[in-house]
Amino acid sequence: MSIKVHIHSTHRRYTDGQEVVTVEGKTVGECLNHLIQQFPGMEKALFAKKDKLHNVIEVYLNQATAHPNELSKPVKDGDVIHLIIMLAGG
Residues that bind other proteins (CB under 8 A): 9, 53-58, 60, 63-65, 67-68, 82, 84-90
**6/27 with CB nearer other proteins:** 6
**28/57 with CB nearer other proteins:** 57
Q: Residue 44 Cβ, how far from other proteins at the closest point, in Å?
A: 14
Spatial neighbors of 34 by CB under 8 A, at least 6 apart, are 23, 24, 25
Supply angle C-alpha 10, 88, 83, rounded to 5. 40
What is the number of residues in the chain? Answer: 90
CB atoms under 10 Å from CB of 36, counted, come to 18
Q: Residue 9 Cβ, how far from other proteins at the closest point, in Å?
A: 6
**22/84 with CB nearer other proteins:** 84
